[in-house]
Amino acid sequence: MKTILIKNGTIVTLGEENKVLAGHALLIDGGVIKKIAPQKTFKGKYGKVIDAHGKVVMPGFINAHMHFYSTFARGLGKAKPSRNFVEVLNNLWWKLDKKLTNADSYYSAVIPLLNAVRRGTTTLIDHHASPFAIKGSLETVEKAVRETGLRASLCYELSDRDGRKAAAAGIEENAEFIRKTVKANDNTVTAMFGLHASFTLTDATLEAAAGVGQGLGAGFHVHTAESQADQIHCESHHGMRVVERLNKFGVLGPKSICVHCVHVDDRETDILAQTGTPVVHNAQSNANNSVGVADITGMARKGVLVGLGTDAMTVNMFEELRASLWLQHLRHDPSQGFMEAAAALTVNNARIANRQFKGLGELKEGFAADVILMDYFPPTPLDASNFYGHLVFGLSQSDVDTTIAGGKVLLENKKLKLDLDEEEVSRKSAELAKKLWSRF
């Protein structure tokens, strides 16, 4: 890959010790950040020079929980009105995913991935479901990821809701893809072992999945106490709470992700902290499904690593950041939640992702060259001490001008720099979506 020098911008490193650097330049070489130093030290010739005047240069965003497959629900008006979370699943998502083919899954992934490029999101941790097109579905999604130049962690959503044959196929799809990505070891596509949720998994399936996943050294990606219905089912059928059950089967741990955790109690929060299991918060989805507001402030106080996902509501991490902050204020009071929400996106998502990838989420020499440039002339002083204020109330309203992933320019001057024809991709996607809707 050719060298890229980014100069004249304001560099925001993020990471555990965020720095805001004026008068510095950043050099990319071979897909990694080669050097960050005062601009005057760069005097050589470079393959490409990007003038970042009037822009903030920062790491690409990470989305810690996504569902690419949900794309074809956009504009679908055939689902019955739903009064609670279980009805939402039955009336929409569990009807939609049953109709997906592998071709549908490819286009369902390409569309949000292209949008992610435009929004400066360079890494996504996805959770896929297509119960009547399981085999090869993760390779299909992987194809879309690689064609768009982004990074993704993929898994298949195992459950018992479609019978034993589908459950067995789900275990095998996860296992095969985990083996493939471990062998490839290319820091672009990784894998987790996907589980839907406690209330859709029998003990037998959960035990089998846990054994396979643990044998492969993989983490698990599971919806956890998203709705109170998950807890009611677990207590009535298993005599314990959801996090306790997942812990019993060895699903928890630093490599795993428990998504949502809206309805966990103090004991469950303690277990999450003790096992080092990250929680991924999805504020907009929780509000949309009317399941409640997770107490990420309380979790953080207990030492739980809380990240931020979108649950397919968007790939714009600024939207999720702001919604998370407002809802923490609503749950508690306006003095709480600011740092927890901001850190979830800018620090914790990188910590979660770096348990699967290497060198993400920080502008640092030797780290991956996943870099975005955002239009921004700060109207007030900007430094490391007040950066989050600019992030939430200023940068969130600005445009992404340039997106670079792995040292490859994917977006420049707000125009896609990919081999994919966005108009043609959207046309084909709409054609397939129409056919799927006729089967809904």
pLDDT, tens only, 175-202: 999 999 999 999 999 999 999 999 999 9
Tally of structural domains, the chain: 2
Same domain, 150 and 218: yes
Same domain, 347 and 369: no
Report yes or no on 136 lying in a domain. Answer: yes
Condensed to tens digits (0 to 9), the pLDDT of residues 89-105 reads 999 999 999 999 999 99
Average pLDDT over residues 409-430: 97
For residue 222, give the CATH number of its domain. 3.20.20.140
Same domain, 81 and 102: yes
Same domain, 150 and 209: yes
**Could you give the CA distance from residue 305 to residue 285 in angstroms, rounded to a whole number?**
20
Q: Tell me the residue length of the chain.
A: 440
Report yes or no on 358 lying in a domain. Answer: no
Condensed to tens digits (0 to 9), the pLDDT of residues 363-397 reads 999 999 999 999 999 999 999 999 999 999 999 99
Give me the domain span that covers residue 116.
61-353
For residue 395, give the CATH number of its domain. 2.30.40.10
164 three-class SS: helix
Provide the 10 A C-beta neighbour count for residue 192. Answer: 27
The pLDDT value given to residue 44:
85
Report yes or no on 289 lying in a domain. Answer: yes
Mean pLDDT (the chain, rounded)? 97
Same domain, 166 and 249: yes
**Could you give the CA distance from residue 100 to residue 414 in angstroms, rounded to a whole number?**
32
Same domain, 404 and 330: no
Same domain, 173 and 279: yes
Query: For residue 265, what are its two tokens?
Result: 């109690």
Contacts of 327 (CB under 8 A, 6+ apart): 283, 286, 287, 293, 337
Report yes or no on 263 lying in a domain. Answer: yes
Same domain, 105 and 47: no
316 three-class SS: coil
Separation in Å, CA 4 to CA 75, 119, 122: 41, 21, 18
Among the candidates 353, 378, 408, a domain finishes at 353
Same domain, 106 and 237: yes
Are β-strands 151-154 and 20-21 bridged in parallel, bridged antiparallel, or unpaired? unpaired
194 burial type by CB count under 10 A (0-12 exposed, 13-18 middle, 19+ buried): buried
Same domain, 239 and 257: yes
Report yes or no on 339 lying in a domain. Answer: yes
pTM for the model stands at 0.98
Report yes or no on 114 lying in a domain. Answer: yes
| Residue 186 Ramachandran class (φ > 0 left, ψ -120 to 50 alpha, else beta) | alpha
28 burial type by CB count under 10 A (0-12 exposed, 13-18 middle, 19+ buried): buried
| Residue 327 Ramachandran class (φ > 0 left, ψ -120 to 50 alpha, else beta) | alpha
Query: For residue 130, what are its two tokens?
Result: 């297509």
Same domain, 129 and 257: yes
Q: Which long-range contacts (CB under 8 A, 24 or more apart) does 420-423 make?
A: 420/110, 420/114, 420/147, 420/148, 422/114
Contact 372, 403 (CB under 8 A): yes
Same domain, 205 and 335: yes
**Could you give the CA distance from residue 345 to residue 41 in angstroms, rounded to a whole number?**
32
Report yes or no on 439 lying in a domain. Answer: no
Condensed to tens digits (0 to 9), the pLDDT of residues 263-318 reads 999 999 999 999 999 999 999 999 999 999 999 999 999 999 999 999 999 999 99
Report yes or no on 341 lying in a domain. Answer: yes
The pLDDT value given to residue 1:
62
